[in-house]
Amino acid sequence: MPTINEVTTLEVKDGVAILTLNSPPVNALSANVREGLNDGVSNAINDSSVQSIVIICEGRTFIAGADITEFGQAPKGPSLYEVQDMIENSPKPVIAAIHGTALGGGLEVALTCHYRIAVPSAKCGLPEVNLGLLPGAGGTQRLPRIVGAQKALVMMTSGEHVPANQCFDMGLVDELAAEGELEHDAVAFANKIVSEGRPLVKVRDASDKIQGDKGNEALFSDFRKSILRKTRGFLAPEYNIQCVEAAVNLPFEEGLKVEQELFMKLMTGSQSAAQRYIFFAQRQVAKIPDIEKETPLKEINSVGVIGAGTMGGGISMNFANVGIPVTIIEQSQERLDKGLSIIRKNYENTAAKGRISSEQVEERMALINGQTSIEELSTQDLIIEAVFENMDLKKDIFKQLDGICKEGAILASNTSALDVNEIAAETNRPEDVIGLHFFSPANVMKLLEIVRGDQTSKTVVASSLAVAKKIQKIAAVVGVCPGFVGNRILAQRQREANKLILEGALPWDIDDALFDFGFPMGPFAMSDLAGLDIGWNKDNSNGETLRDVLCEAGRLGQKSGKGFYVYDENRNKSPDLEVEALIRKFGEERQVQMRDISKEEILQRCLYPMINEGFKILEEGMAIRASDIDIVWTNGYGWPVYEGGPMFYGNLVGYDKVLEWLKNAEKELGPEFKPSPYLERVVAEKINIL
């Protein structure tokens, strides 16, 4: 087959030039792929035996977008615009033949083709928004022209991958091929276009779908309102909307200029840098340096969960959702019934929102088998303990499990802070013991910390990663230390937030600063939500901490209508003068000097110790890489993705500045700010840890 370059071939069959790209893993538009497309189309145009051209890909997918690894590098070879011009202006019809995913630049290339054919399993989308970008190769101007402004707004601001049949219905795809027959059907479609003398359709010239929305400002203002809550803080969704507005209201070429200008703003800004970093971090986190790809995996076809409380219930749902049967053990029938009824209610709520059917509710409930005897856990492949956070209780349970569970079963604890090695030592099979730390609500939160004990086998780690993927969690492998990675870093922020309210910052000042930074909620609103009385005992309470004072005053959080804040009947919070007075009194009694504290200082005090703790975690080997820490914080604790996570953010601020600040804070405020020696080394030796 004639080769165009190392990733492209061109073959002529029945007058149809088949231009095939083969650039694993995802046929991204690298310089090679652009060159292959450019030269391939050019050759086909110049070949008199060719009447039409099909662009098709080998491997798992059609072109999945621009090559993100090339961003920021000096451009090489033909630009994407040149390639698109060549395709769009071809005097012979060009057809994109799509399987897998036509995403970003890939769909933008397909949109310059005159026709598109796809297999039913294919998906199309413009997911640039998830990288903090907008489609920068004409996609913002062509998509609205082919599917209309409203649909383009949805696709571009959500980044969703739209199934081929829906693309067909909205006119984005012209023809559906039979599954597995793409090349054959694409050639037939190309021949039909030629024989019927169909026109060379240029999407850029279409106007019927956008005509009616010219000057329709309400369309855009309503849309902005509808996505406000989800997109708070992100720049890219708004810029995507502005591009669609330009597509509707301006001639194509002028719209393209708007697209280019806004694309460059996003591309050179820190938000997109953070979001692109997180894209790769998310793929990196599953790679464990000392665990080879070939590591044998244990099959997980059945699961046992101990404890049907807050966590056990949510954990069980994850497995039932993917068809894995779960046996859930409680200490009494009453607690079991309560736990199971909460699970049912959760499923019914999801069904009421139309996300699953009522049959699915029953199917999933049928997969959850409640029992009150731990002896029932003799056959399951994976056991997850989720009883109260009490070391003696957990040790006792693992001792029992050692005697009950089948050989080779994985024995996991959902402990949030206890020593997994100590728990493992209760068994005669510590190599099978691991921490699987889910986050609440466990059926919703994406993050899973996989806590690797000193003796946990590679097979058990690899199998845990595989099962995490199966239940659609993003898993980070962490080491055994108090609080692991996530809660250990959280403790730093909590400590400083608690201190700050005794130095003069009010709870809402701190919450507002962190909310404005991009967290969904500040620590005091969070405490009110969880309940201030968790772990508080009325009989031992002696007004020693501010929490004692608030709980003694009946301020238990949202559930009692007041905590750090006061709540109305719709649970909307407001600052409360009574709390301010309680705090001031508490401070005065302890002769604490109150002062004005700026938002900037609040952020430094809360965030810089977290970065420092991240360095300590890396130094101790409790996280494999800095980006794993950022995955934990962006997926489990609401750190805004556009700020990249604590380690990325530290770099953005400048690790040298963070270090200097910590040194001063250590002098002025105390030893808890002592910089990590690893941070000092990274700054001194300018080591790149990201």
Burial of 47 (0-12, 13-18, 19+ CB in 10 A): middle
132 binding ligand NAI? (CB under 6 A): no
341 binding ligand NAI? (CB under 6 A): no
Q: Which does 308 bind (CB under 5 to 8 A by kind): ligand 3HC, ligand NAI, none?
A: ligand NAI
**Structure tokens belonging to residue 121:** 């399993």
Strands 433-438 and 101-103: unpaired
**Structure tokens belonging to residue 585:** 């009194």
346 binding ligand NAI? (CB under 6 A): no
Smaller CB separation from ligand NAI, 202 or 335 = 335
67 binding ligand 3HC? (CB under 6 A): yes
Q: Which run of H or E residues covers position 459?
A: helix 458-470
- 3-class DSSP state of 678: helix
132 binding ligand 3HC? (CB under 6 A): no
Closest CB 571 distance from ligand 3HC, rounded Å: 37
Smaller CB separation from ligand 3HC, 61 or 463 = 61
Closest CB 389 distance from ligand NAI, rounded Å: 3
Q: For residues 683 and 662, is the Cβ–Cβ distance under 8 A?
A: no
- 3-class DSSP state of 434: strand
- What phi and psi, each to the nearest 5 degrees, are found at residue 97? -110, 110
d(CA 308, CA 306): 7
Stretch that binds ligand 3HC, among 64-72, 189-197, 557-565, 647-655 (CB under 6 A): 64-72
Catalytic residue among 108, 259, 426, 496: 108
d(CA 343, CA 309): 10
Q: Which does 329 bind (CB under 5 to 8 A by kind): ligand NAI, ligand 3HC, none?
A: ligand NAI
d(CA 387, CA 330): 9
231 binding ligand NAI? (CB under 6 A): no
Smaller CB separation from ligand 3HC, 127 or 453 = 127
Among 57, 64, 155, 471, binds ligand 3HC (CB under 6 A): 64
- What phi and psi, each to the nearest 5 degrees, are found at residue 558? -55, -40
Closest CB 520 distance from ligand NAI, rounded Å: 16
137 binding ligand 3HC? (CB under 6 A): yes
Find the helix packing angle between 507-517 and 486-503, rounded to 10°: 140
Query: Please, what's the b/e burial string for 202-221 (b: 16 or more CB within 10 A of its CB; e: otherwise)?
Result: bbbebeebbeebeebeebbe
Closest CB 445 distance from ligand NAI, rounded Å: 9
**Structure tokens belonging to residue 413:** 């604890």
Q: Give the x-and-dash track for 292-321 against ligand NAI (CB under 6 A).
A: --------------xxxxxxx---------
Q: Of 276, 347, 296, 314, which Cα lies nearest the Cα of 627? A: 276
128 is an active site residue? yes
Among 10, 16, 19, 28, binds ligand 3HC (CB under 6 A): 28
Q: Of 34, 241, 28, 217, which Cα lies nearest the Cα of 129? A: 241
Give me the amino acid identity at 65. Answer: G
Closest CB 530 distance from ligand NAI, rounded Å: 8
Among 414, 464, 558, 612, binds ligand NAI (CB under 6 A): 414
Q: For residues 458 and 432, is the Cβ–Cβ distance under 8 A?
A: no
Which residues, 66 to 125, sit near ligand NAI by CB under 6 A?
A: none
Q: Of 641, 498, 613, which Cα lies nearest the Cα of 564? A: 498
Which residues, 246 to 305, sit near ligand 3HC by CB under 6 A?
A: 280, 283
Which residues, 416 to 455, sit near ligand NAI by CB under 6 A?
A: 416, 438-440
Among 35, 128, 511, 533, binds ligand 3HC (CB under 6 A): 128
d(CA 164, CA 615): 46
Catalytic residue among 58, 70, 88, 128: 128
Largest interatomic CA distance in the chain: 93
569 is an active site residue? no
Closest CB 3 distance from ligand 3HC, rounded Å: 23
Where does this chain bind ligand 3HC (CB under 6 A)? 25-26, 28, 61, 64-69, 101, 103-105, 108, 127-128, 131, 133, 135-137, 139, 280, 283
Q: Which residues are catalytic?
A: 108, 128
Where does this chain bind ligand NAI (CB under 6 A)? 306-312, 329-331, 335, 386-389, 393, 397, 414-416, 438-440
